[in-house]
Structure 1
Amino acid sequence: MKWTLLPAARFPEFAAQWQALHAASGASALLAADFVAPLVAEFADKRVLLACCNKAGATVAMALLTPGGRGAWSTFQPAQAPVGLWLQQPGIALAPLADSLLAALPGFALVLGLTQMDPALMPRPLDAGRIRTRDYIDTARVTIAGSFADYWNARGKNLRANLKKQRTRLEKDGVAPRLQISRAPEEMAAAVADYGRLESSGWKAGCGTAVDAGNAQGRYYRAMLEAFCRRGAGSVYRYWFGEQLVAMDLCIEDHDCIVILKTSYDEAVPKSLSPALLMREEACRQLFDEGRFARIEFYGRVMEWHLRWTEDVRTMYHVNYYRWPGLARLHALLAKGGKPAPATDAQTKEASCNSTK
């Protein structure tokens, strides 16, 4: 195995190679070249590297990597990426890939961190030898099977009764709720601008993390959604109370899954109404009726409201691969003493202002 390291800015030259590996590995839309290229363009600095591994003339792994602490490297993990930017062919063990990559990285790399890995995409390896893993967050998804009526009847009585009560109130007040779905690439600029206005009117404005059509986040989501929509794999859900925009979802899709990347709602709406949940009910009903997808993925940390919609929860994880087994054991002892290993912490430390859900 031979790794080639290049500046991440050259990703567009290797996008087709990345996409071919993505297709061969059956990875999520979150790892498609259309998702990754705008991340690099907007958020990668000069330290970020594109790593390509070849074996017998075939590309078997690719990743985007950034330096961490002394002797540490990890997958590039901007807040907009729910999973670590690592691809590998199925059937290839992680250890030889990581071992050869450690040897190729600049300086004397001691540890390689793979951050925010999804066990649904890559099975969690056992803690053994030079590999150590640790939990990241629990995340949830809805499995689309059977009728929406059966799914909805299996939800909690309080959720169903509360949303029914809200719809009755809206009808009594003469307010007509409406779900709008935009899928055309030329509609994404306006959609991201609308989303930014919703998000900027709420608590994220005070944190400085709200999407805005003119900031890096806004540029990223517009470019990414336009690219997905050009191939029929992007969608934006808007929910209206009459002429008032009250909630939005930004989504991407692959052959059997729709991923809800970001959700926002109008915080000026009375607390007795839940526009995001009302939107979610209508959107789920339509997705069940269409039967296009097998799953709705939320990603992000499981919240109480997620558990009202699904019991399907799994634990995402980090991987540290060490140059020496003794270093792995040392970091494991430090972790038991309340001092976590540094290879992934710098990339995954979460502040509430960076929450996307």
Structure 2
Amino acid sequence: MKWSLVKAAQLPAEWAALHARCQASPMLAVEFVQPLITEFGTGRQYLASCAHDGRTVAMALVEARGRGSWALFQPAQAPIGLWLQESGLALEPLLASLVAALPGPALLFGLTQCDPDLLPRPAEGGKLRTLSYIDTAKITLAGSFENYWNGRGKNLRANLKKQRARLDKEGVALRLQVSHLPGEVAAAVADYGRLESAGWKAGGGTAVAADNAQGRYYQAMLEGFCRRGAGSIYRYWFGEQLVAMDLCIEDAAQIIVLKTSYDESVPGNLSPTLLMREQACRQLFDEGRFARLEFYGKVMEWHTRWTDEVRTLYHVNYYRWPVLARLHARWQSRTLKAHHVP
């Protein structure tokens, strides 16, 4: 196996071809990854391609992280690492040949935010170490919504029923709107930005807005997915008031919630996001188009009320020599102990 590196600017056609051969996550599709490079690339990222027997078997977006250290390009908008490999290939030989090909020489390569459902967590030893990252949740969309909903906690079901009854008594109509057309994306992202910009994220400068890099990214990405019928934007309304939104992408097996926001001016005894989620889940179960609903964010308390299907995303560190792995492990252990001294 031989790796080559070129500056990352425009993804080649081979990325899409490898993605199709791998039947990889939509979060590794060209429509998702190219706007990441465009909006968040710094010019220091490389496209790494691995050839074997005359064909490309793996590709990744990589960058230097410091003296002798390299890792995947991992912008905050990417829930999983930007790494593609053909199924059936062992991970460790790919990492070994990549580390040997990186300039420097590279002493360490970090393969970040791996999903065990997509890339099984490898055994540790020698030059390879793994580190748990976050727990994430999914909902298997099998059977009827009624069976799924009856399996949820009594308090959740009763609370949302009570909220719907209150809103109905007050004459507030509840409406779920789902947009799929590329021409509808710009307005939807602007709506999403207004929700986020009115909330706590505005103070930290992390809110999506139509005129910032985040807004441009989500608009370009969602337009790309919607052009091929694989994007969904959920809006939830209390009468004429937009109160919650989900930005989603999908493939034949799954729908992935990438971003969620809600109107923080809604009274605290109402949960617009959960009301939206209930109606959206009912629709997804009834349609039967997908096998699962994925969240990919860090598991929060509300996730555990909706599902008990939780798994742990992880990082991989691959070291040029086994002694570096041992030394790094000792340093991490000492650092951890130091931070826990009473």
Aligned residue runs from structure 1 range 1-357, under 5 A: 1-11=1-11, 14=12, 16-338=13-335
| Distance of 1:24 and 1:155 partners within structure 2 | 38
What TM-score does the superposition give when structure 1 sets the normalisation length? 0.93
| Distance of 1:67 and 1:32 partners within structure 2 | 23
| Distance of 1:39 and 1:228 partners within structure 2 | 14
| Distance of 1:60 and 1:181 partners within structure 2 | 37
| Distance of 1:65 and 1:262 partners within structure 2 | 25
Q: How big is each residue's C-alpha offset from its partner over 1:169-219, in whole Å with a ceiling of 9 and x where there is no partner?
A: 000100001000000000000000000000000000000000000000000
| Distance of 1:338 and 1:260 partners within structure 2 | 36
Q: How big is each residue's C-alpha offset from its partner over 1:213-242, in whole Å with a ceiling of 9 and x where there is no partner?
A: 000000000000000000000010000000
| Distance of 2:196 and 2:335 partners within structure 1 | 36
| Distance of 1:337 and 1:229 partners within structure 2 | 49
What TM-score does the superposition give when structure 2 sets the normalisation length? 0.97
Question: Gapped runs of 5+ residues in structure 2?
Answer: 338-342
| Distance of 2:78 and 2:247 partners within structure 1 | 13
Q: How big is each residue's C-alpha offset from its partner over 1:270-292, in whole Å with a ceiling of 9 and x where there is no partner?
A: 00100000000000000000000
Shift of 1:24: 1.6
| Distance of 2:10 and 2:47 partners within structure 1 | 8
Moved more, 74-83 or 87-96: 87-96
Matched positions, count? 337
Q: 3-state SS of the aligned residue for 2:315? A: strand
Q: Which amino acid is the alignment partner of residue 328 of structure 1?
A: A
Q: Which amino acid is the alignment partner of residue 90 of structure 1?
A: S
Whether contact under 8 Å (2:10, 2:34) holds in the other structure is no
Q: Which amino acid is the alignment partner of residue 236 of structure 1?
A: I
Shift of 1:339: 5.5
Question: Gapped runs of 5+ residues in structure 1?
Answer: 341-357
2:340 paired residue number: none
Shift of 1:155: 0.2
| Moved beyond 6 Å, runs of 4+ | none
Q: How big is each residue's C-alpha offset from its partner over 1:309-332, in whole Å with a ceiling of 9 and x where there is no partner?
A: 000000000000000011111111
Q: 3-state SS of the aligned residue for 2:301? A: coil
Shift of 1:106: 1.6
Q: Which amino acid is the alignment partner of residue 267 of structure 2?
A: P
Q: Which amino acid is the alignment partner of residue 90 of structure 2?
A: A
Q: 3-state SS of the aligned residue for 1:338? A: helix
| Percent identical residues | 69
Moved more, 159-168 or 67-76: 67-76
Q: 3-state SS of the aligned residue for 1:337? A: helix
| Distance of 2:30 and 2:121 partners within structure 1 | 24
Q: How big is each residue's C-alpha offset from its partner over 1:227-267, in whole Å with a ceiling of 9 and x where there is no partner?
A: 00000000100000000000000000011100000000000
| Distance of 1:316 and 1:204 partners within structure 2 | 25
Shift of 1:69: 2.1
